[in-house]
Amino acid sequence: MSVAVISPLGMSPPVVTTFVDYLGGVRDLVVITTAERRVKEGFELIRVALKIKYPKTRIHEVELPF
């Protein structure tokens, strides 16, 4: 089964990666971010960690304008 996830990102990137681990089979992950530097760093952490663990998962960022 192919799964797509849409997740807002705050200051805790492990919440997103743990959720992806829990669901399994995630093929698309859309992460909603803000322009906040710490949120951007968290997104980069998620992107790198998931590319290593789940190389076939597509990761997309949608940035809110604040």
As a whole number of angstroms, the distance between CA 29 and CA 56 comes to 11
**For the structural domain made of 3-63, what CATH number should be given?**
3.40.50.720
Q: Are 59 and 31 spatial neighbours (Cβ–Cβ below 8 Å)?
A: yes
- pTM (two decimals): 0.91
- pLDDT (tens digit per residue) in 8-29: 999 999 999 999 999 999 999 9
For the chain, the domains span 3-63
The string of pLDDT tens digits covering residues 35-47 is: 999 999 999 999 9
Tell me what pLDDT residue 34 has. Answer: 97
Angle at 13 between CA 10 and CA 18, to 5 degrees: 125
**Residue 28 forms beta bridges with which residues?**
4, 58
The mean pLDDT of the chain is 96
